[in-house]
Amino acid sequence: MNVLVWFKRDLRVADHPALAHAAALGAVLPLYIVEPEYWALPDTSARQWEFAADCLADLRRQLGGLGAPLVLRVGDAVQVLEKLCRAQKITRIVSHEETGNLWTYARDRRVAAWARAAGIGWDELPQSGVVRRLASRNGWAAGRAAFTTAAQSDLPALRAVAGVEPGSIPSARALRLADDPCPHRQAGGRDSGLLLLDSFLTIRGEPYRAAMSSPLTAERACSRISAHLALGAVSGREVAQATTARLAERPGGRWGGALSSFHSRLAWRDHFMQKLEDQPGMEVRCLHSAAETLRPREPDAARLHAWTMGETGLPFVDACMRYLTATGWLNFRMRSMLMAVASYHLWLDWRATGPVLARRFTDYEPGIHWPQVQMQSGTTGINTIRIYNPVKQGLEQDPTGAFTRRWVPELAPVPDMFLQEPWKWPGAQSLLGRRYPEPVVDVVAAARVARDLAWGLRRKPGFHDEAAEVVERHASRAGDTGFAQGGFENDRARMARRPRPVAAGQLSFDL
């Protein structure tokens, strides 16, 4: 039997259940499909493709070493699969389940319909603790733990389907992707991911808990493997088991707390991806229907542009956005702040700002991104409204001003005591509106208005009744309370006892 292995967000050969399964069935044709329509979406970008291209080059090398080179095709998935299956007499397709955006969800439904009509079997295997068609969250955490601690899939011996032209990996320009300079983008590929994981677990990670909040220290103290996990260059199970093994060594100092926190965030990652798997529509609809009327659907164009370009006149906000633009990464607290400032101070709808951040994140993971975007925008109905004060964040997370000054060099003449509030500097008239913008909003006044509107919505009759329904639909149920601080709580009695929404998590758990 000839078997086609469809690689998607699993660009590796180690711990690859789908590849191991296919190898046991017959000769293997490993395939990756570059889908131009996907790469033209508002939540995808050239920087993401370039990282994926790095991973694909590395995957091609890995598969070549096993004797079955990667085949790459550009086009619509159904058309590519139909042509290859017909030409190579393929009767079975094997892949991993994918929790992607709404576009990939619809594409997989089209592929499934075509495969049924063509009489071609399609085996979709899990590669994480996320469960397809989950009926109840009861016992989910135990199931996730069982998957994570199970033995990794063996590296298979492959017999290749012969005579297939491998195809080339196109450039971003060849795919006609919009220009997207990212001079400090991380390199993709499994080797890069494993090097980062090893250095984090043995050298860089000890101050993780204390250092993850500031952009000054998080760049080194965080693992930086989130993009490799998003594309599957390394598996979540590999990372979890390596972390467990390192904990078993009982390293001294601050290592125990750091590794335990990191281990928890790996679990939270699956937990939030399960939310999008359960309800793909949260990419486009507020979890609480009343929040649909909270903000104008048509965003203020000037404010959106200023926020997108890092030109809001709020120094720490602009520094973080510019850093993200240049690197493709930002630590979790600053991601949360960017989203919160956009949603509250600038009063922009999350469906306008969410895609902007998605495009900038090299580590964009839809299953984390969209639930977290809604959390920070106050549209879930069950999470505490969290309005970050960007001036306070700048003073706390960049106390010396080094980060702000690096990424907003226009502020060079501003004395340290006025750096985060340059409008209070006596010399502001020579700078603001000339070399650096005046603030687009009054931070204190905008926060006050946003707070009144957001809490006013929650005081309306029936709001908490629907919030309780949201909890019932999306929360971790009995046995899964270990995830409560990272997301939704499920306890109906608690909701009745304390109707105030539970605390929000952070935007895109930092790994």
pLDDT at residue 188, as a whole number: 98
Q: How many domains is the chain built from? A: 3
The rounded distance, in Å, linking the Cα atoms of 470 and 450 is 23
Percent of the chain with pLDDT over 90: 87
Q: Write out the two tokens for 371.
A: 């639930």
If we measure between CA atoms, which residue out of 492, 337, 460 comes closest to residue 403? 337
Here the CATH number for the domain that contains residue 452 is 1.10.579.10
Same domain, yes or no: 380 and 416: yes
SS (H, E, C) 262-297: HHHHHHHHHHHHHHHHHCHHHHCCCCCHHHHHCCCC
- Identify whether 358 is part of a domain: yes
Q: What is the mean pLDDT of residues 233-248?
A: 98
| Residue positions forming the annotated binding site for FAD | 208, 262
> pLDDT band at 393, cuts 50/70/90?
very high
**508 has a pLDDT exceeding 70:** no
**480 has a pLDDT exceeding 50:** no
> pLDDT band at 481, cuts 50/70/90?
very low
The rounded distance, in Å, linking the Cα atoms of 158 and 23 is 6
Same domain, yes or no: 267 and 289: no
Q: Write out the two tokens for 96.
A: 């991993």
pLDDT in tens, 104-148: 999 999 999 999 999 999 999 999 999 999 988 889 999 999 999
pLDDT in tens, 432-472: 999 999 999 999 999 999 999 999 999 988 888 887 777 66
Q: Are 455 and 378 in contact (CB under 8 A)?
A: no
Question: Is residue 187 within a helix (H) or strand (E), and if so which, with residue range?
Answer: none
Between the alpha carbon of residue 401 and those of residues 158, 328, 410, 420, the distances in Å are 55, 22, 13, 8
If we measure between CA atoms, which residue out of 29, 39, 134, 156 comes closest to residue 83? 29
- The helix, strand and coil proportions of the chain, stated in percent and rounded to the nearest 5, come to 55, 5, 40
pLDDT in tens, 292-341: 999 999 999 999 999 999 999 999 999 999 999 999 999 999 999 999 99
- Identify whether 396 is part of a domain: yes
The rounded distance, in Å, linking the Cα atoms of 503 and 492 is 16
Q: Are 228 and 9 in contact (CB under 8 A)?
A: no
Between the alpha carbon of residue 6 and those of residues 11, 82, 144, 255, 482, the distances in Å are 10, 13, 24, 39, 34
Q: Are 502 and 384 in contact (CB under 8 A)?
A: yes
Same domain, yes or no: 301 and 380: yes
- What burial class does residue 336 get, using C-beta atoms within 10 Å of its C-beta: 0-12 exposed, 13-18 middle, 19+ buried? buried
The rounded distance, in Å, linking the Cα atoms of 317 and 177 is 27
pLDDT in tens, 172-228: 999 999 999 999 999 999 999 999 999 999 999 999 999 999 999 999 999 999 999
Q: Are 454 and 378 in contact (CB under 8 A)?
A: yes
Higher-scoring residue by pLDDT: 153, 498: 153
pTM: 0.93
Pairing relationship of beta strands 2-7 and 90-96 according to DSSP bridges: parallel
User: Between helices 332-340 and 350-360, what is the axis angle to 10°?
Assistant: 150
The rounded distance, in Å, linking the Cα atoms of 128 and 168 is 30
What is the domain range of residue 36? 2-127
If we measure between CA atoms, which residue out of 86, 85, 71, 81 comes closest to residue 30? 71
| Residue positions forming the annotated binding site | 208, 262
Q: Write out the two tokens for 273.
A: 């991806």
pLDDT at residue 383, as a whole number: 86
Same domain, yes or no: 256 and 300: no
33: β partners: 73
Pairing relationship of beta strands 121-125 and 90-96 according to DSSP bridges: parallel
Collapsing DSSP states into helix, strand and coil, what is residue 509?
coil
Same domain, yes or no: 350 and 423: yes
Q: Which of 112, 127, 142 is the last residue of a domain?
A: 127
* Residue type present at position 458: R
**505 has a pLDDT exceeding 60:** no
Here the CATH number for the domain that contains residue 62 is 3.40.50.620
Q: Which of 73, 107, 127 is the last residue of a domain?
A: 127
Q: Are 343 and 303 in contact (CB under 8 A)?
A: no
R_g over Cα of the chain:
24
pLDDT at residue 474, as a whole number: 58
Same domain, yes or no: 228 and 307: no
Q: Which of 127, 149, 169 is the last residue of a domain?
A: 127
